[in-house]
Structure 1
Amino acid sequence: MYTKLSPPPSPIDVDAQTQMPSPVPGCNPCRSSATYKRHKYLRRLIKFRQMDFEFAFWQMLYLVIAPQKVYRNFNYRKQTKDQYARDDPAFLVLLSLCLVGSSVGFSLVLRLGFFGFVKFMLWVVFIDCIGVGLMIASIFWFLTNRYLVRPTHTGQDVEWGYCFDVHLNAFFPLLMILHVFQLIFLKHFIAVEPDWFLPKLFGNTLWLIAIGYYIYITFLGYSALPLLHKTQVLLYPTCVLVIAYVITLAVGWNISKGLMYFYEYRVG
C-alpha cells in the first residue's frame, strides 16, 4: 500500500488552523479596538509557543517566489479578525534573526570585530529596517487614506500596522538580495580595485533588482486591499529607479562599494 503525501499547507490553510480564541472573556476579536489589537500583538511577542513560525517561514518563501500569494491571507484575516495587519509576531522574529545573521556575514567580510558587529547590527535593525520602515509606513498610511480610498468605501481606512507589514514583506527579499546574495561577491568581485565596469554593472544591477522588487511587493500589498483604487501609481517610482540606475553607471558610481565604505565609516 502506498501512502499519498499531502502538499505543503497553503497560507490560508495554515492560518485557518491557527485561529486563537480571544483571551478576554466576552470580547469578540472582530470588534476589538486598535489598542487591544496592539496590546495582543506585543503580548504575543514574548510567547514563542504561540507563534506560528512554520507559517511565517512559508510567507518568507512565497515572498521570494510568488509574493502575490502572501496577500491572499491578509484578506482572509480581514474576514475573520476584522484586521489586515498581522496578529502573530512570528514573521518579525524570523526577520530579526535574518538581520542578525546577515550582520554576522557582513562583519566577517568587512572585518569589523565584535564591537563593530554590534554597532553594525544595531544600525541595520533599528535604522535600515525599523527606522526607515516607520517612515515609509507612515507616508503610505497617509497617502493611501488621503488619496486612494474608493468613494464607495468612505469611512474605512488602511491600518498603519498593515502599512508596516507591507514594508516588512518588501524588505525581506531586498535583504536576501543585498545582504546575503551580494555578500558572496562583495569583497572579491564587486568592490575590487581598480573599479572595473563589469563589477560595477553587476553590483548596481543587484540594487536595481532589489529596490524594484521592493516597489513591486509594496504595490501588491496595497492593490490587494478592496477599499483602494488607482494603486498602479505606486509603480511609478520604478521609472525613477531605472533612470537613477542608468545615471549611476554613466557617472561610474559603484553603489555597493560606496555603501561598504559608508558602513565601515559608521561602525569604525
Structure 2
Amino acid sequence: MLSSTTSPTNRSKSSSSTSPPKPTAPSSAPNISTGSTPSDASRLAIPSGNSTAENNYHYRRQTSRTTATPSTPSYNYNTTPSSSSTSYYNYNNHHHLSSHMSPQAYLTRLLDVQQMDIQSALDQMKTLCSTSPSRAYKTSYYRKQTKDHWARDDPAFFALQVVFLVCTSIAYVIAFRVEGRGFVSGVLDFLVKSVGVHYIGWGVIMATVGRLISNDYLTVVGGTGGGSSSAGIGGSGGREIHVKQKVEWLYAFDIHCNAFFPMFVLLYALQFFLLPFVLGKSLFAMVLANTLYGIAFSWYFYITHLGYRALPFLSNTEVFLFPIAVVVALYVLNLVGYPFGFGWNASRMMAYVFFD
C-alpha cells in the first residue's frame, strides 16, 4: 500500500516548482527606442528562472539601446538661385557688381600709404621683366578665389610707377637742358605728357577698348574657357563655364599697368643711358632706336595678351597679339626705306614730342 506521506526531498522539489517567481527590482532606465520610461507591467514581465529567456530579453534591450538613433532635423542646403537662366544670370550680375571695387574707392586708397604693400608691388615688377611674366597674373587668380574680384585692391603698383615717372622726368629735363622755361615748368610739362598722357591717358583708352572687345566678342558662356588653346592661370584650360562673367574695368587697367612697366624700363630708363647713341642721324642710331621701341611695344602687347588670357571665361585672346604684326611691319618699313630717305628714328621723334 502506497504511503501518502511525502518525503522531505520531494516536498522541497514541489515547493520550488510551484513557488511564484521573485520580482526583480524595477528599472528606471528609459526606453531608448520610444523615448519613455517602461510601465510597471513591462517591468514585472522580465522573465526569471529561465536563463535562455532572460538572456534573450537582455539582448533585445541592449540591441534597442545601440540601434536607436535620435531624430535629426533636416536642413535645406540648396542656396542656388532659380534654375532659370535669366534669373540665375541676374543673380550673378548683381553679385558681380557688388563684389567689385569701384574706381573711386581705388583712388581713395592712394591716400593711405601705410596700407600699401610696396614689397609685393616690387616683386611683381621684377616678375614682369623676367622670362616668365605670366607668373605675375597668378596673384589675380588667387585674389579671385579669396575676394571674388580680379583687379588689384592695393594701388601700390600704380603709385610706384608714378614715382618712377617723376624721377625720370627730372632726369630727362636735366639731360635736355630745356631753354626758355624754368626747371620746374619743364618738369611739370614732362610729367603731364609722361604721366597724364602716356601712362594714365593711354591706359584708360587701352583698358576701355580691351574690356569692350573682351566682353562683346571673347566671352565664353556654356563652353570651355582658358583664354587660348593652352591652359590659363590655375589650370583653367578646358574648364566648362556655366556662369556669364565680364571683365572688370579696373582689371583691364591693371593689365595696362603691368604691360607699361617693361616699356618704362626700356623707353624711360634704358633709353636715358643710350641717348648719345640713339639721337644720331646715322643708320646705326636709327636701327638701335627702332629696335628699342619695337621690343618695348611688342612686350607691351604680349603682356596685355597674357593678362586677358589669364581669365578662364575668355577665348581667342590671341587677338591682342595682332598689334605686334603692325610693329614689325613698321620696323621693316623704316629699315628698307632708309636708303631712299624714307625712315624715322623713334628716339628723335620722342625727343621732338616731349621737348619741342
Q: What is residue 52 of structure 1 aligned with on the other side? A: 117
Deviation at 1:38, TM superposition (A): 3.9
Q: What is residue 263 of structure 2 aligned with on the other side? A: 174
Secondary structure in structure 1 of the residue aligned to 2:129: helix
Give me the whole-angstrom Cα distance separating, in 1, the residues matched to 2:352 and 2:317.
37
CA root-mean-square deviation: 1.7
Task: State the Cα deviation string for residues 45-80 of structure 1 (Å, max 9, x = none).
Answer: 111111100101101111101311100110110111
Could you tell me which runs of 5 or more consecutive residues in structure 1 were left unpaired when the two chains were aligned: 1-29
Deviation at 1:108, TM superposition (A): 1.4
* Structure showing greater Rg: 2
Of stretches 150-159 and 231-240 in structure 1, the one that deviates more from structure 2 is 150-159
Task: Verify: 1:205 aligned to 2:291, yes or no.
Answer: yes
Q: What is residue 141 of structure 1 aligned with on the other side? A: 211
Match of 2:175 among 99, 104, 109: 109
Tell me if the contact between 1:59 and 1:70 (Cα under 8 Å) persists in the aligned partners. Answer: yes
Give me the whole-angstrom Cα distance separating, in 2, the residues matched to 1:138 and 1:100.
25
Give me the whole-angstrom Cα distance separating, in 2, the residues matched to 1:36 and 1:137.
16
How many corresponding residue pairs? 233
Deviation at 1:40, TM superposition (A): 3.9
What is the one-letter code of the residue matched to 2:306? L
Question: Relative to structure 1, is the Cα distance of residues 183 and 213 closer, same or farther in structure 2, using a 3 angstrom cutoff?
Answer: same
Could you tell me which runs of 5 or more consecutive residues in structure 2 were left unpaired when the two chains were aligned: 1-94, 223-240
Q: What is residue 10 of structure 1 aligned with on the other side? A: none
Tell me if the contact between 2:99 and 2:148 (Cα under 8 Å) persists in the aligned partners. Answer: no
What is the one-letter code of the residue matched to 1:204? N
Higher RCO by CA contacts (8 Å cutoff, separation 6 or greater): 1
Deviation at 1:155, TM superposition (A): 2.4
Tell me if the contact between 1:167 and 1:218 (Cα under 8 Å) persists in the aligned partners. Answer: yes
Secondary structure in structure 2 of the residue aligned to 1:172: helix
Give me the whole-angstrom Cα distance separating, in 2, the residues matched to 1:31 and 1:163.
16
Match of 2:107 among 42, 46, 50: 42
Tell me if the contact between 1:138 and 1:163 (Cα under 8 Å) persists in the aligned partners. Answer: yes
Q: What is residue 246 of structure 2 aligned with on the other side? A: 157
Deviation at 1:34, TM superposition (A): 5.9
Identity of aligned residues (%): 39
Task: Verify: 1:256 aligned to 2:347, yes or no.
Answer: yes
What is the one-letter code of the residue matched to 2:148? D
Question: Relative to structure 1, is the Cα distance of residues 114 and 156 closer, same or farther in structure 2, using a 3 angstrom cutoff?
Answer: same
